[in-house]
């Protein structure tokens, strides 16, 4: 069942509904066979972009190319992509078999060949024994698998998935996500996966794109997106951050570690800090400094952990099973969020309680700069 | 668990309701086997059935008129009503709200008013009264029902399945035939059957718009009882009662199997 997978190029797509701009000059390139995620908050235009690719919506401007050929003139039924809908859109009057066979009836396959293909697909998505059930009698996860099998039946080059897991519980989502990833590996076609769940996107995508309010903010590998978000929105949308406005003071090249070290003034922390970056930053530029809570080391008591160490008290510990979250109020008056995994208790001595004095520190290489300008009032 | 008996008053109500509902039918059924003419029992006989099937030419003519009108008007009303329901759901435009209200009108207006206004209309455009005017009138008053039943079916319809069908290779027409039509079929069928019933039983409106030679069964029965009730009508009634019961039963089975498959 190995397909070929198309390269998709989306060029300057703009789409308005009335005076409302749902998509604003979006350009994206997706490599053949990739698992590509579109991530963004509700209403940012993810579904709209998917519908434009599938042919249900016409863009006001721009191009959609499959392997270099424009598909905008083609009606949905002629495009080499199939969609798994946000609500699955299974045909309620047809059984599981009927749903999966639906696209095959059109293709002029013989009855025997068709049945064989349906059997193969049912086995593939592990729905054996449910063949004759109606969609109304299936669980959410089973419906999703029928939707995927149905979409794969015509052997598309591209599979579009619109938040297929959003209606399911956390546990099931996890296991279905793994299944999806396996299906992707097996069929080898391009997946475009829409989600507003960053965990899903980070864990399965080859590349992903972050959207907000109809605009593409950043595209890259999950690692790039998580470790070096380019906008304030991405930085706060993906994972958690301690984000503070700062001003660049000076940049210097560090020969040894092959990186730039930027000295920034962070008024909220009452300090100047060092942070690494890929290039120099213009002196005096206003930008944001950010450090992920899980990269902050926290130790009980007033301990000198080296340069860049903060002291403070625990304002609010939040227990969350495998980890704890602390809001540390520094002596300078800033609040720093810290995530501490519970496995390190053994190494690090006594537990940390509410109102305890603590010391926190991070490596300059773990902080990063978000190159978006801040203004006085924010 | 202890069985709880319905209160005495409720039981009494039930008894009287059943009595008034079924007694007349039972009386009619019983007297169809009476060998006499009047309301006194004179012994069992099948003579009225014999007369019904051998020498009631006018009655059968009226019967077939009814059937023809019922089938044609119901079919027309079902097609128009279903199309209207789909169309109004699909494209909402400024007037669609008014159109919906207008569609319900024939359902709530008194039959006399519909009948008389149709009569005035037909005569003002010089349309001779007869089978065609009855057909037109029945189609009109059946429309709200066929529309309503398909419309309520469409309320549950997931329109994204149409897009799914397109996505899976069907063009507009294919999506309509393979997705929309099967989904609304139960509504279409119940609308059709309801229209048939309403058409066969209608008296008032038909009375106004019928012409010479186009009497339907209810009109025929009405005109014949003016000369005294002929027990032939009783015989016909029993046959119709049994036939409708059989139809209702079959239809229920049919709808159930459809619902189970939907
Ligand atoms: N047919 C339409 N008419 C008018 N506005 C629309 C239409 N379709 C979408 N929109 C608007 O476009 C914006 C983007 O919608 P879209 O469905 O693409 O969001 P989304 O990113 O998929 O959100 P979600 O995560 O909630 O599914 C929304 O503000 C929505 O209200
Ligand atoms: Mg959406």
Kindly state whether residues A35 and A60 are assigned to the same domain. yes
Within a domain: residue A325? yes
- Count of structural domains within chain A: 3
Q: Assign domain B50-261 to a CATH class.
A: mainly alpha
Residues A15 and A135 in one domain: yes
Residue A351 has pLDDT above 90, yes or no: no
Q: Is A137 on the interface with B (CB under 8 A)?
A: no
**Domain coverage including residue A202:** 8-235
- pLDDT for the residue A348: 54
- Interatomic CA distance for residues A342 and A352, integer angstroms: 11
* pLDDT band (50, 70, 90) for residue B101: confident
State the pLDDT at residue A209: 96
pLDDT surpasses 80 at B92: no
Across the range A122-151, mean pLDDT stands at 90
Asked whether the CA dihedral B92, B94, B96, B100 is positive or negative, the reply is positive
Confidence of residue B3 (pLDDT cuts 50, 70, 90): low
Question: How many beta-carbon pairs below 8 A join chains A and B?
Answer: 65
What is the structure's pLDDT at B262? 46
Write the pLDDT tens digit of every residue in B116-137: 999 999 999 999 999 999 999 9
Residue B106 has pLDDT above 80, yes or no: yes
pLDDT for residue A318 is more than 50: yes
Instruction: Annotate B126-158 with DSSP letters as a single string.
Output: TPPPSHHHHHHHHHHHHHHHHHHHHHHHHHT--
- Give yes or no for residue A232 CB within 6 A of ligand 1: no
Query: Does a structural domain hold residue A1?
Result: no
> In angstroms, rounded to a whole number, what is the distance separating the alpha carbons of residues A9 and A68?
7
Which residue is closest in CA terms to ligand 1's atom 25?
A: A42
SS3 B98: helix
More confident: A61 or A109: A61
Is residue A223 located within the same domain as residue A270?
no
Residues 6+ apart with CB under 8 A from A121: A100, A149, A152, A153
Average pLDDT over residues A77-104: 92
Distance CA A96, CA A135 (A): 7
The CA distance from A21 to A16, in Å, is: 4
Among residues A210, A235, A260, the one where a domain terminates is A235
Residue A69 confidence (pLDDT) above 70: yes
Same domain, A25 and A165: yes
Mean pLDDT taken over chain A: 89
Share of chain A above pLDDT 70, in %: 97
Using CA atoms, how far apart are residues A328 and A310, in angstroms rounded to an integer? Answer: 10
pLDDT category, A38, cuts 50, 70, 90?
very high
> Any idea what the CATH number is for the domain that residue A75 is in?
3.40.50.300
Alpha helices in chain A (DSSP H): 46-54, 96-106, 111-124, 140-152, 170-187, 198-204, 222-227, 232-237, 345-348
How would residue B54 be classed by pLDDT, with cut points 50, 70 and 90? confident
Judge contact between B191 and B139, C-beta under 8 A: no
Instruction: For residue B259, give the chain A residue with the closest CA.
Output: A93
Task: Give the pLDDT score at B2.
Answer: 61
Question: In this structure, are A126 and A219 located in the same domain?
Answer: yes
Residue B165 confidence class, pLDDT cut points 50, 70, 90: very high
Virtual torsion, Cα B78, B81, B86, B90, nearest 10 deg: 170
Residue from A14, A16, A23, A48 whose mutation best tests the ligand 1 pocket (most atoms within 8 A of CB): A48
Q: Which residue would you say has higher pLDDT here, A349 or A51?
A: A51
CB A206 within 8 A of CB A36: yes
Interface contact flag, A153 B168, Cβ < 8 Å: yes
pLDDT digits (tens, 9 = 90+) for A230-283: 999 999 898 888 999 999 999 999 888 888 999 999 999 998 999 999 889 999
As a whole-number percent, the residues of chain A with pLDDT over 90 amount to 62
Q: What is the mean pLDDT of chain B?
A: 88
Nearest to A164 by CA among A137, A179, A144: A144
pLDDT recorded at residue A58: 94
Q: Are residues A26 and A163 in the same domain?
A: yes
What's phi and psi for B236, nearest 5 deg?
-60, -40
User: Could you tell me if A275 and A319 lie in one domain?
Assistant: no
Check the CA dihedral A87-A91-A95-A99 and report its sign.
negative
Within this chain, do residues A187 and A256 fall inside the same structural domain, yes or no? Answer: no
Report which protein residue has its CA nearest ligand 1's atom 1.
A17
- Residue B224's nearest CA partner among B108, B56, B31, B103 is B56
User: Could you tell me which residues are beta bridge partners of residue A194?
Assistant: A38, A162
For the whole model, what pTM was predicted?
A: 0.79
In this predicted structure, what is the pLDDT of residue A190? 95
| Chain centroid, CA B175 distance in Å | 31
How far apart are the C-alpha atoms of B262 and B258, rounded to whole Å? 6
Q: Residue A1 has what pLDDT?
A: 46
pLDDT at A347 over 60: no
Note the pLDDT tens digit of each residue in A184-238. 998 899 999 999 888 899 999 999 999 999 999 999 999 999 988 999 999 989 8
pLDDT tier, B258 (very low <50, low <70, confident <90, very high otherwise): low
Q: Which of A47, A53, A192 to mutate to test the pocket of ligand 1 (most atoms within 8 A of CB)?
A: A47
Instruction: Give pLDDT, residue B76.
Output: 97
Nearest Cα to Cα of residue B153 among B186, B177, B176: B186
- A334: nearest Cα among A312, A353, A317, A301: A312
Written as six digits, the tokens of A132 are 């004759």
Give the pLDDT confidence score for residue A228 in this predicted structure.
87
Return the higher-pLDDT residue of A134 and B5: A134
Rounded Cα distance between A64 and A68, Å, is 9
Helix (H, G, I), strand (E, B) or coil at A327: strand
Partner residue opposite A106 with nearest CB, options B158, B163, B170:
B170
Does residue A22 share a domain with residue A111? yes
The two tokens of residue A69 are 């050929």
Say which CATH number the domain at A319 has: 2.40.50.140
Flag whether pLDDT at A3 surpasses 80. Answer: no
Nearest to A25 by CA among A53, A55, A49, A50: A49
Among the ranges given (A132-146, B2-16, B142-156), the one the predictor scored with the smallest mean pLDDT: B2-16
For residue B257, give every residue at least 6 positions away whose Cβ sits within 8 Å of its Cβ, in sequence order, or none. none
Whether the predicted interface score ipTM is above 0.85: no
Inter-chain contact B169–A107, Cβ cutoff 8 Å? Answer: yes
Give the confidence band of B34 by pLDDT, cuts at 50, 70, 90: confident
| pLDDT > 90 in chain B, percent | 45
Q: Which atom of ligand 1 is nearest to the CA of A48?
A: 18
Q: What is the DSSP letter of B176?
A: I
Q: How large is the average pLDDT for residues B148-157?
A: 90
Nearest C-alpha to atom 28 of ligand 1 is from which residue?
A43
Answer yes or no: is A2 within a domain. Answer: no
Q: For an interface test with A, which of B163, B164, B173, B257 has the most A Cβ atoms less than 10 Å from its Cβ? A: B164
A261 vs B107, higher pLDDT: A261
**Distance from B233 to chain A by nearest Cα, in Å?**
45
Is the separation of the CB atoms in A168 and A12 below 8 Å? no
A102 at interface of B, judged by CB pairs closer than 8 A: yes
Instruction: Mark whether A172 and A75 lie in a shared domain.
Output: yes
pLDDT at residue number B233? 85
Let me know whether A140 and A75 are in one domain.
Answer: yes
- The partner residue sitting opposite B167, judged by closest CB among A54, A87, A134, is A54
Query: How many whole angstroms separate alpha carbon A127 and alpha carbon A153?
Result: 14
Task: Tell me how close the Cα of B226 comes to any Cα of chain A, in angstroms.
Answer: 52
Chain A: closest CA distance from residue B247 (Å): 25
What is the per-residue pLDDT for A375? Answer: 84
Residue with the bigger pLDDT between A296 and A1: it is A296
Residue corresponding to tokens 């419906």: A143
In this predicted structure, the answer to whether residue B261 has a pLDDT above a threshold of 80 is no
Same domain, A207 and A336: no
> How close A273 gets to chain B, by Cα (Å)?
54
Segment B173-226, tens digit of pLDDT = 999 999 999 888 889 998 998 999 899 999 999 999 998 888 899 999 888 877
Alpha carbon distance, N-terminus to C-terminus of chain A: 54
Whether A91 is in a domain gets the answer: yes
């Amino acid at each position: 069942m190995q397909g070929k997978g198309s390269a998709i190029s989306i060029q300057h797509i703009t789409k308005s509904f009335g005076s409302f701009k749902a998509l604003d000059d979006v350009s994206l390139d997706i490599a053949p066979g990739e698992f590509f995620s579109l991530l963004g908050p509700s209403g940012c235009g993810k579904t709209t972009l998917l519908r434009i690719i599938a042919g249900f919506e016409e863009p006001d401007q721009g191009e959609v190319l499959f392997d270099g050929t424009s598909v905008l003139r083609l009606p949905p039924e002629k495009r080499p992509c199939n969609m798994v809908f946000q609500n699955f859109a299974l045909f309620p009057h047809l059984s599981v078999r009927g749903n999966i066979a639906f696209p095959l009836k059109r293709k002029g396959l013989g009855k025997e060949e068709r049945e064989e293909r349906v059997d193969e697909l049912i086995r593939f998505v592990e729905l054996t024994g449910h063949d004759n059930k109606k969609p109304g009698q299936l669980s959410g996860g089973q419906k999703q698998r029928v939707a995927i099998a149905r979409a794969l039946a015509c052997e598309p080059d591209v599979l579009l998935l619109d938040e297929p897991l959003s209606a399911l519980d956390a546990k099931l989502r996890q296991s279905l996500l793994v299944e999806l990833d396996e299906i992707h590996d097996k069929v080898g076609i391009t997946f475009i996966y829409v989600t507003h769940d960053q965990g899903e996107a980070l864990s399965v995508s080859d590349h992903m794109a972050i959207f907000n309010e109809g605009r593409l903010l950043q595209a890259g590998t999950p690692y790039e997106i998580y470790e070096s978000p380019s906008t304030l929105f991405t930085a706060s949308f993906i994972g958690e951050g301690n984000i503070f406005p700062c001003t660049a003071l000076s940049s210097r090249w560090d020969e040894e570690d092959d990186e730039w070290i930027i000295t920034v003034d962070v008024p909220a922390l009452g300090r100047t800090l060092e942070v690494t970056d890929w290039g120099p930053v213009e002196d005096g530029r206003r930008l944001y400094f950010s450090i992920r809570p899980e990269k902050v080391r926290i130790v009980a008591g007033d301990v000198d952990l080296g340069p860049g160490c903060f002291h403070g008290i625990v304002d609010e510990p939040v227990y969350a099973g495998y980890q704890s979250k602390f809001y540390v109020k520094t002596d300078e008056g800033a609040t720093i969020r810290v995530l501490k995994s519970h496995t390190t208790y053994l190494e690090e001595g006594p537990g940390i309680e509410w109102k305890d004095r603590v010391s926190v520190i991070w490596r300059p290489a773990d902080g990063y700069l978000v190159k978006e300008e801040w203004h006085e009032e924010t | 668990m202890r069985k709880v008996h319905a209160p005495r008053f409720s039981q009494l109500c039930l008894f009287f309701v059943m009595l008034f509902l079924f007694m007349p039918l039972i009386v009619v059924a019983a007297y169809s086997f009476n060998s006499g003419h009047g309301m006194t029992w004179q012994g069992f006989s099948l003579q009225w059935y014999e007369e019904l099937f051998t020498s009631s030419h006018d009655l059968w003519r009226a019967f077939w008129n009814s059937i023809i009108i019922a089938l044609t008007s119901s079919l027309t009303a079902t097609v128009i009503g279903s199309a209207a329901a789909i169309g109004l759901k699909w494209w909402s435009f400024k007037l669609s709200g008014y159109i919906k209200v207008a569609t319900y009108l024939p359902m709530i207006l008194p039959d006399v008013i519909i009948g008389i206004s149709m009569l005035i209309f037909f005569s003002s455009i010089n349309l001779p009264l007869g089978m065609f005017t009855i057909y037109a009138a029945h189609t009109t008053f059946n429309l709200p029902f066929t529309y309503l039943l398909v419309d309520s079916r469409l309320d549950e319809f997931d329109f994204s399945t149409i897009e799914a069908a397109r996505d899976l290779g069907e063009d507009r027409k294919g999506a309509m035939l393979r997705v929309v039509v099967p989904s609304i079929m139960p509504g279409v069928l119940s609308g059709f059957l309801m229209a048939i019933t309403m058409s066969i039983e209608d008296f008032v409106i038909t009375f106004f718009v019928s012409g010479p030679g186009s009497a339907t069964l209810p009109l025929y029965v009405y005109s014949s009882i003016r000369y005294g009730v002929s027990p032939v009508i009783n015989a016909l009634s029993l046959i119709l009662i049994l036939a409708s019961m059989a139809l209702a039963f079959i239809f229920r089975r049919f709808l159930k199997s459809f619902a189970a498959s939907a």
